[in-house]
Chain A
Amino acid sequence: MTGLGRLGRLVLIGVPFVWLALFFVLPLLIVVRISLAESVIGIPPYTPLFAHDGVRLKLHVTLANFALIAGDDLYLRAYLGSFVNALLATVLCLLAGYPIAYAIARARGARRQLFLFLVMLPFWTSFLIRVYAWIAILQPNGFLNEFLSVLGLISAPLPLLNNQFSVELGLVYSYLPFMILPIYGSLSALDQILVEAAADLGAPPRLVFLGVILPLTLPGIAAGSFLVLIPAIGEFVIPDLLGGPDTLMIGKVLWDEFFNNRDWPVAAAVAVVLVAALAFPLLAAQRFLAGTRAA
């Protein structure tokens, strides 16, 4: 934008820059700082960074919180549990989402837009309410159990709620659109010429799919997978509403640590470890996506 002037540029860039620095970067730094503090009774419920012991300023940091996390089995299981649940949900989303994306990509013209719209619409309605809807369906006297009972398929209600099954179901249900859209994006960008060329050269449909379509939609698959995996790891609402006592996911642990135990430093430490743990898939995602984009 030629000639906007130094002041114009400063305002244009500076305003959002300062806001993000203040409301995103700085808070994260504060989390790190508090993870190094100790829990105390008071407001705020953590030790100050600098303490004046009468002679000079001392930096008051401790790694006790991290030691606690490393030592307690609960946290380790929660991190692992989150990762496993998220990974499972990603795979399920992929298996369910790819056919749907494929079917949408095959539709013609206006129908495609309609289908995409219908895929996105649930996303716009309340996430909380959609997760809650599953409670009504999965509970012992809920819709599904009654339905199966009426059909005579079961004699006693199935335990469908408050366990691994319902959590996975909830995750897949909530994150499915995030898998469908990137895969659709890849599929719709796929040059039909390539498919026809493969068929012309004698490849049967299965081979056309495995050899041509699947590899070329890998970027979409990767994007969708990361869009599901990374947020799902830190998911709170779904394990809280649909999970049971042995559902250990780190988002819930963080919440409990903060609201129920009122231990802010430990909660902060949990958060720091979570961000660090997410750094690996995030970097992998960035590298993979940058690589495929360059290709």
Chain B
Amino acid sequence: MALLEITAISKRFGATLAVEEVSLSIERSEFFALLGPSGCGKTTFLRLIAGFEVPDNGRIIIDGTDVSGLPPYVRPVNMMFQSYALFPHMDVAANIAFGLRQERMDRRRIVARVEEMLALVQMSDYRRRRPHELSGGQRQRVALARALAKMPKLLLLDEPLAALDRRLRGQTRLELTAIQERVGTTFLVVTHDQEEALSMASRVAVMNRGRFVQIGSPAEIYEHPVSRFVADFVGEVNLFEGELTTKSNGPALAVAGFVQAIPLPPDTELCEGAVAALAVRPEKLVLSSSLPNRFAIAAKVSSIGYLGGGSIVHLTTEQGRALKAYLPGSAAGAFGRGARVWASWPPENGVVLTQ
């Protein structure tokens, strides 16, 4: 039985449909990420699971129990808030103990559990501090410890890394995954940062305008997006819009401005004339100064952005179309600004999108 079973829930605020007929199933001990742009409804979705909003229809079942109509304080779900929401008038230990006190747990057991949690997030020396005396990263750990203290069946995390600076983010990402593995709790993270989602989760759902657009592993989402939105939202992409046509050597896409049709992956199954898009990830583009013996696009290097381990090369084609290529290491050094290059890729490295 899945831990979290959501069946066709919807939530409307006035005229806006924030969440539309969404269904989801999450297994025990999964690290699941819900990814989407701001305003897509992911926070509303989270709040529906936590119990702060009541769904207009549909059901939420946690570990076999229908919690759809239950208030937040009886659900076996805990949430780590984006702003951490640490109680300012209590110290770290009291914050962590708060949920346990509501359960009327035995005093000694509370103390033991609090110590356990403090050790888990490495904040044992800070138990007497007040929230305003802690740094952002420290507050985040306390918030996590507080949310895990009650051993909830499901932990909801609302943009857990958003308030942290870049270095701390990377570090915290690792810690979160480590803790999740150790504790075994099912995590549901909501974020707009696709790097966060792809690196931490074992499964990702991409959400847009109240609906789930694609659910899959991070690799599936990235390598095989099912729609233009997913291809564009997750990572960088080069998109070509056109119509399907068949050439002598296989399916191709007739795109306005290109004399030749662009070759598509050989196994593409579509009818002649169908409207589709081809998505090519920047790292799949191969740049060469001489014409390669496959389909290639002539372009000029407009700028090169050095990223440390590689470079993003921005190209402009003769028709004025912008392309992005990612070259690892120092390979981009071979090209200077204004250089004329040929951009090509093996046809099977593109993804055909019909949505």
Contacts and interface: CB of A to CB of B under 8 A. Distances in A.
B266 interface: no
Nearest to B53: A2
A16 interface: no
Contacts of B71: 2-3
Interface in A1-47: 2-3
B258 interface: no
Contacts of A2: 52, 71-72
Interface residues of B, number: 3
Nearest to B54: A2
A201 to B, nearest CB: 36
A7 to B, nearest CB: 16
Interface in A195-233: none
A160 B187 CA distance: 79
A3 B53 CA distance: 12
Main secondary structure of the interface of B (DSSP, over half): loop
Nearest to A3: B71
Nearest to A2: B71
Contacts of A3: 71
Contacts of B52: 2
Interface size classification for chain A: under 10
A6 to B, nearest CB: 14
A2 B72 CA distance: 9
Interface in B259-291: none
A2 B52 CA distance: 8
A145 to B, nearest CB: 56
Contacts of B72: 2
B30 to A, nearest CB: 29
A9 to B, nearest CB: 15
A2 B71 CA distance: 8
Interface string A230-249: 00000000000000000000
Nearest to B52: A2
A261 B272 CA distance: 103
B264 to A, nearest CB: 53
B22 to A, nearest CB: 22
A128 to B, nearest CB: 39
B322 to A, nearest CB: 35
Interface in A150-198: none
Interface in B98-135: none
Interface string B35-75: 00000000000000000100000000000000000011000
A3 B73 CA distance: 10
B286 to A, nearest CB: 50
B49 to A, nearest CB: 15
A2 B53 CA distance: 10
B70 to A, nearest CB: 10
A139 to B, nearest CB: 53
A2 B74 CA distance: 13
A2 B54 CA distance: 11
A8 to B, nearest CB: 13
B237 to A, nearest CB: 39
A241 B46 CA distance: 65
Interface string A41-56: 0000000000000000
A2 B73 CA distance: 11
A144 to B, nearest CB: 51
A282 B27 CA distance: 62
B191 to A, nearest CB: 26
A3 B71 CA distance: 8
Interface string B309-340: 00000000000000000000000000000000
A2 B70 CA distance: 12
Interface string B68-85: 000110000000000000
Interface in A66-125: none
A1 to B, nearest CB: 12
B71 to A, nearest CB: 5
A72 to B, nearest CB: 58
A243 to B, nearest CB: 51
A3 B72 CA distance: 10
A27 B71 CA distance: 43
A95 to B, nearest CB: 44
A201 B52 CA distance: 51
A209 B71 CA distance: 55
A78 to B, nearest CB: 53
Interface in B224-244: none
A70 to B, nearest CB: 52
A172 to B, nearest CB: 42
B148 to A, nearest CB: 24
A59 to B, nearest CB: 49
B317 to A, nearest CB: 42
A3 B52 CA distance: 10
A3 to B, nearest CB: 5
A2 B50 CA distance: 13
A69 to B, nearest CB: 52
A135 B71 CA distance: 64
B248 to A, nearest CB: 64
Q: Report, nearest first, the 4 A-B pairs whose CB atoms are least far apart.
A: A3-B71, A2-B71, A2-B52, A2-B72
4 contacts: A2-B52, A2-B71, A2-B72, A3-B71
Interface of A: 2-3
